[in-house]
């Protein structure tokens, strides 16, 4: 009875452990849109871009702090081990002229406590910094969008590559099924004496080649699936199932009717915001030539004691003041001038980048149009070839079954069909990539 209980307990433990393992491995069935959304939420690049935005928020708070009153409290305590000596003219005490009498003033202990307040009234650089805060936040928000778009492009390309691979695998399975039937038929013909053993061996070789090709393609699909999960920052232990399919109509839908504007590209929007920040930078350094004005106030209490009894009834003496501080820059060794010129040159670089990006967009769109046009034409041609190759194989196989054809004709037809299928799926993937690049180039992805 004790042994039975022990076995039962072990069985329950194993069952619980297996259930936890199953729970830890999530199964994700994603369309391409869901895959992109998952990547945007979990990608390290996107997370870091969001952190950059939050860092700028804290930088804005730091800039805003300069416009608020600056309040500080101070306190000092001094214990004179030797009270400082002061020389007084001896004539004061009736002594000879030209001589001095050493005198010690002060107490052994002294303490001071108080508050200092300063309020900036005018500073051109701080003023510009306050205005530029919103643009700086917009810049980092747009940078996050650029990162998300890059993730979107890469996820879609890998996703559809796997979709095309799955369709290719379907064709391979169909070819294997054909050759399995052909091998069965050839063996039967061989038994009846109408075929040679060599014919059976040839069919077996072709079947083995197809099965090897299937293993190779499956390995590539598994590697691509792992790569997609890595890009999405999905745990490798989780299962990723792709639910979307791919049709030629999707590739040809509204293909070349799209117009484009530079403003649609997020990179252009980012460069425009960078230009605004550069203009603020020039303005900030120019305003550094103006004087700065600040108001200040101070309130202090001071006490001197011969004994350490500051918390007693001894007197505390008050000192308070208010004032204005004007700082007029006169000459700084041309440092301000250098900063202004540097900011202008950086702004000029940004303008050059904007013009270069416009040319880049024109080139990207032109190249994408040419590629997608060629890809669609190639896809149509390869589809016709594949359909024709399937018909040729079917006719050849029928002739062989009727004793009117040879095994060599079957091998040739199968080889041509395989080439046509590979060419079709290669063209299908090229068309997918071309359309994604076209949508990216026109800013409509």
Spatial contact of 260 and 441, defined as CB atoms under 8 Å apart: yes
Give the model's pLDDT for residue 194: 73
Cα separation, 169 vs 218, in Å, equals: 8
- Which of 166, 151, 133 is closest to 244 using CA atoms? 166
Predicted confidence at residue 357, as pLDDT, reads: 94
Give the SS3 label for residue 81: coil
C-alpha span between 193 and 189 (Å, rounded): 6
Given this model, what pLDDT does residue 21 score? Answer: 46
Other beta carbons within 10 angstroms of residue 197's beta carbon come to 9
How far is the CA of 98 from the CAs of 74, 88, 105, in angstroms? 42, 10, 21
Q: What is the pTM of this model?
A: 0.80
**For each of the chain's 445 residues, which pLDDT tens digit applies?**
445 545 555 555 555 554 554 445 789 899 999 999 999 999 999 999 999 999 999 999 999 999 999 999 999 999 888 888 888 888 887 778 878 888 888 888 899 999 999 999 999 889 999 999 999 999 999 999 999 999 999 999 999 999 999 988 888 898 888 888 888 888 888 887 777 888 788 888 888 988 998 899 999 999 999 999 999 999 999 999 999 888 777 777 766 656 788 999 999 999 999 999 999 999 999 999 999 999 999 999 998 888 888 777 788 989 999 999 999 999 889 998 999 999 999 999 999 999 999 999 999 998 988 888 898 889 899 889 999 988 988 888 888 777 777 777 877 888 888 889 889 888 988 898 998 898 889 888 8
pLDDT at 51: 93
Cα–Cα dist 216/241, whole Å: 20
Q: Residue 175: what pLDDT? A: 86
Residue 123 makes CB contacts below 8 A (sequence gap 6+) with 66, 292, 293
Contact status, residue 242 vs residue 30, Cβ threshold 8 Å: yes
Pairing state between β 27-30 and 239-242: parallel
CA gap 304, 144 in Å, rounded:
61
Tally Cβ neighbours within 10 Å of residue 68.
9
Total residue length of the chain: 445
Which of 230, 228, 180 has the alpha carbon at shortest distance from 200? 180
What pLDDT is attached to residue 193?
Answer: 78
306: which DSSP letter? S
Mention every residue, 6+ apart, whose C-beta is less than 8 A from residue 109: 77, 78, 79, 80, 304, 305, 306, 307, 308, 310
Cα angle: 230, vertex 233, 237; to 5 degrees: 70
Buried b (16+ CB within 10 A) or exposed e, 281-318: bbbbbbbbeeebebeeeeebeebbeeeeeeeeeeeeee
Q: How many CB atoms lie within 10 A of CB 248?
A: 13
Cα–Cα distance, 348 to 356 (Å, whole number): 12
């Amino acid at each position: 009875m004790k042994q039975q209980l022990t076995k039962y307990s072990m069985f329950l433990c194993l069952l619980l452990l297996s259930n936890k393992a199953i729970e830890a491995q999530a199964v994700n069935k994603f369309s391409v849109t869901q895959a992109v959304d998952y990547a945007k939420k979990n990608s390290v690049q996107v997370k870091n871009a969001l952190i950059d935005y939050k860092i700028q928020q804290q930088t804005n708070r730091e800039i805003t702090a300069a416009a608020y009153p600056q309040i500080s409290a101070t306190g000092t305590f001094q214990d004179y081990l030797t009270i400082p000596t002061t020389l007084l003219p001896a004539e004061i005490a009736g002594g000879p002229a030209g001589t001095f009498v050493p005198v010690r003033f002060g107490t052994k202990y002294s303490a001071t406590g108080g508050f200092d307040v300063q309020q900036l009234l005018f500073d051109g650089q701080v003023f510009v910094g306050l205005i530029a805060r919103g643009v700086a936040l917009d810049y980092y928000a747009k940078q996050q969008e650029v990162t998300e778009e890059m993730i979107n492009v890469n996820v879609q390309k890998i996703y559809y590559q796997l979709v095309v691979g799955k369709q290719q695998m379907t064709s391979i399975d169909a070819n294997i099924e054909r050759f399995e039937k052909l091998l069965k038929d050839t063996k039967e013909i061989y038994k009846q004496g109408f075929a040679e053993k060599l014919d059976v061996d040839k069919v077996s070789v072709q079947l083995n080649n197809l099965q090897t090709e299937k293993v190779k393609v499956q390995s590539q699909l598994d590697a691509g699936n792992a790569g997609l999960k890595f890009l999405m920052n999905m745990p490798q232990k989780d299962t990723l199932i792709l639910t979307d399919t791919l049709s030629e109509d999707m590739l040809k839908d509204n293909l070349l009717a799209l117009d484009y504007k530079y403003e649609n590209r997020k990179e252009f929007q980012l460069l425009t915001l960078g230009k605004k920040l550069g203009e603020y930078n020039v303005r900030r350094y120019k305003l550094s030539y103006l004087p700065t004005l600040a108001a200040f106030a101070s309130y202090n209490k001071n006490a001197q004691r011969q004994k350490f009894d500051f918390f007693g009834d001894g007197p505390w003496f008050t000192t308070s003041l208010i004032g204005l501080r004007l700082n007029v820059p006169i000459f700084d060794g041309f440092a301000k001038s250098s900063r202004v010129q540097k900011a202008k040159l950086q702004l000029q670089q940004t303008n050059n980048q904007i013009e270069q990006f416009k040319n880049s967009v024109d080139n990207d769109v032109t190249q994408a149009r040419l590629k997608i046009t060629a890809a669609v034409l190639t896809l149509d041609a390869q589809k016709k070839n594949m359909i024709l190759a399937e018909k040729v194989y079917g006719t050849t196989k029928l002739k062989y079954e009727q004793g009117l054809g040879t095994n060599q004709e079957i091998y040739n037809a199968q080889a041509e069909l395989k080439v046509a299928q590979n060419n079709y799926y290669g063209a299908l993937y090229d068309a997918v990539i071309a359309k994604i690049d076209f949508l990216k180039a026109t800013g409509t992805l």
